[in-house]
Chain A
Amino acid sequence: MTTEPLAAPIRLSRRRFAGGDRAFHGLVIVSAAVVVVALAATAIFLVRESWPALRHYGFWSFLGSSRWAPSEAVATRVDPNPYGIVQFVYGSVIVSAIAMVVAVPISIAVALFITDIGPRAARRWLASLVDLLAAIPSVVYGFWGIFAFIPAFKPIGDWLERTLGSVPGVDVVFKGPFFGVSYLVAGLVLAIMVIPIVTALCREVFLQAPRAEKEGAYALGATRWEVLSTIVVARSWSGIFGASVLGFGRAIGETIAVTMVIGNNVLSINWSILSQGSTMPTVIANEFTESVEPFHLEALFVVAMWLLIITFIVNVIGRAVVARAARNVR
């Protein structure tokens, strides 16, 4: 009975603790849900804003044309749809594909050098240097692209036009005239921008290669190259694939650097990588705040919606592959 007065405050404080715990638990759950809500809201708002255009012209009609001519839009006319977006999808895909073809082999090489080859003291520095490429802002890449990269690359582009541009079969891809700003230059600038991303992901994958197998191979007299190619890289293909998919997703969404070096032709589809074009993000950036024609802004939201759909799918695939690869290696 003498403990009675003591028991009360203890019980009280425990209840207060439990209450605080519950409140905090609720708070962290709500915060974590913000990401889910933001993603869902992004999708909902983009569909809502593009709805008038989708209803007016028909959902698929935007993918049925490669002519984007807002000045021809008449509010009452439904056909033809003046807001064809196929050329933007083509531009996004071709520019990102060029970027990946260049960046993935380079990234694999750099990642291997950092994880297995370079002098131990230099590895950390090299990794930081490559990471610095990711710290340079997009607008600076574009600016540098116009004034430093294009003049340096112009002779190579002219040479490609002169040689491959007249070979039957591939001439469609390398047809001139080449003015500097082009899909090819945009792809190459993008390649530099995604190298640090793909390299960092590849490094993680390579580091997980089984140590025992590597040491065993060395003990059997394998050269370093044999160990790297038969064990490290051979075990990492799915991880490399995942890293490439994520890099591809990043390249597709890149806006400012690309818009500065691609030429921004929206009127038609140009198959040649030496010609000027547009990508899905660049047309949004260029016309968004100047859209005055009927359904113009709504059509730009249609582009944004498709861009969200494409990048969402690409990223889901890339993340899933990377996660599975990490689990399999271990």
Chain B
Amino acid sequence: MAAQPVPLGGRTGGRLRRRKATDLVFTAILGIVVLVVVALLLWILFYVAKQGLKLFSWGFLTETPPAFPGDKGGGFANGIVGSGIIVGLATVISVPIGLLAAIYLAEYGRGRAAYSIRFLTDVMTGIPTIVLGAFVYSLIVIRWGFSAYAGAVALALLMLPLIIRSSEEMLHLVPAELREASLALGVGKARTTVSIVLPAALSGIITGVMLAVARALGETAPLLLTALGNDLFMETNPSHRMSALSLQIFNNAITGFKESQERAWAGALTLVGIALLLTILARLLGRRRIQMMSG
């Protein structure tokens, strides 16, 4: 009560009250918008959980789909294994190239060349994944047919710019003193980068890779044009067409069979679960690193 400002007359007091009222109204509107967005997230997550839990079980994770899509039961084991193989291969392709490219941008690149590559990397994150799929189709599938390898290349192209930009940021966070100390001891630049800078940034880099993996796991469009899918049996040879969890969800969701859609929901729950788990783990890892660096 003591700190109340004294109104300098009726008009000013009214204006102040009006300004405060405006402030309150807008704060309330922003708060409501935030609540709506959070509610949307919860709606999606709970809806997927509710529909998915009807069928989700150990059997769902270990069985392949029934021969006739209208039959009950079965699972997406082949899609889960397929996703693991395709995304695993994509990670093996994209991480070394992405990491080296990030080292170029953070440690070596100067001037126009580095600026252009950084800019193009950013632009590449915005190229539609279906376009990347069409590119890999013309590059690989036309000659060698649909395969998990083709799917992996398409996903690697999608992951590459994400890994480059997140790794570069992490390398920039490594204090320059570490590099200087190493160089002053007579260690070469390459050796300094690999055995001093890289380990210091490692957990941050892993965070970025995990987020890229989560993103690749959820992709469907490029796989339609490259890995094609294989709903009938477990395929583990990467040079053959292969199913993926996302493809199986898509194919089962758009059939008219209720039983297929139930499987698709359980698959969606599995996929969302894995993606969220990866994302949350990555963020926790990233947070610990920031605390270590600042503390």
Chain A interface (Cβ < 8 Å from any Cβ of B): 17-18, 20-21, 23-25, 27-36, 38-39, 41-42, 45-46, 48-49, 106, 109-110, 112-113, 117-118, 126, 128-133, 135-144, 146-148, 192, 195, 223-226, 228, 246, 249-250, 252-256, 260, 281, 284-285, 288-289, 300-301, 304, 307-308, 311-312, 314-316, 318-319, 323
Contacts and interface: CB of A to CB of B under 8 A. Distances in A.
Nearest to A255: B221
B7 interface: no
Contacts of A304: 130-131, 134
B25 to A, nearest CB: 8
Contacts of B41: 129-130, 132-133
A28 B100 contact: yes
A311 B128 contact: yes
B101 interface: yes
A17 B132 CA distance: 40
B264 interface: yes
Interface of B: 19-20, 22-23, 26-27, 29-31, 33-34, 36-38, 40-41, 43-45, 47-48, 51, 96-101, 103-105, 107-109, 116-117, 119-124, 126-132, 134-135, 137-139, 157, 160-161, 164, 188-191, 193-194, 214, 217-221, 224-225, 228, 246, 249-250, 253-254, 264-265, 268, 271-272, 275-276, 278-280, 283
Nearest to B278: A135
A32 B219 contact: no
Specify the main secondary structure of chain A where it touches its partner.
helix
Interface of B is mostly: helix
A139 B126 contact: no
B265 A143 contact: yes
Given A28-B103, A284-B130, A130 B37 contact: yes
Contact of A225 (B27, B43, B47, B157): B27
A46 to B, nearest CB: 6
Contacts of A142: 250, 253
Contact of A42 (B132, B161, B275): B132
Contact of B224 (A141, A147, A288): A288
Given A32-B104, A192-B40, A281-B128, A138 B218 contact: yes
B138 A49 contact: yes
A110 B41 CA distance: 14
A109 B30 contact: yes
A253 to B, nearest CB: 3
B138 A48 contact: yes
B138 A260 contact: no
Given A31-B104, A41-B139, A288-B224, A139 B161 contact: no
Contact of B134 (A31, A36, A284): A284
A34 B97 contact: yes
A35 to B, nearest CB: 5
Nearest to A125: B38
Of residues A18, A34, A250, which shows the largest number of chain B Cβ atoms within 10 Å of its Cβ? A34
A20 B191 contact: yes
Contacts of B31: 113, 117
A29 B114 CA distance: 10
A250 B122 CA distance: 12
Contact of B23 (A224, A300, A319): A224
B131 A308 contact: yes
B128 A252 contact: yes
A301 B30 contact: no
A143 B246 contact: no
Most-contacted residue by chain A among B105, B134, B280 (CB, 10 A):
B134
List the 10 closest pairs (A to B, CB-CB), nearest first. Answer: A253-B128, A137-B218, A24-B190, A31-B100, A315-B126, A255-B221, A28-B104, A223-B23, A32-B104, A109-B33
B23 A35 contact: no
A146 B40 CA distance: 15
Nearest to A301: B134
Nearest to A133: B41
A288 B126 contact: no
Given A228-B26, A323-B119, 11 more contacts: A34-B160, A110-B33, A113-B33, A142-B253, A192-B44, A223-B19, A246-B126, A255-B129, A281-B128, A289-B228, A311-B131
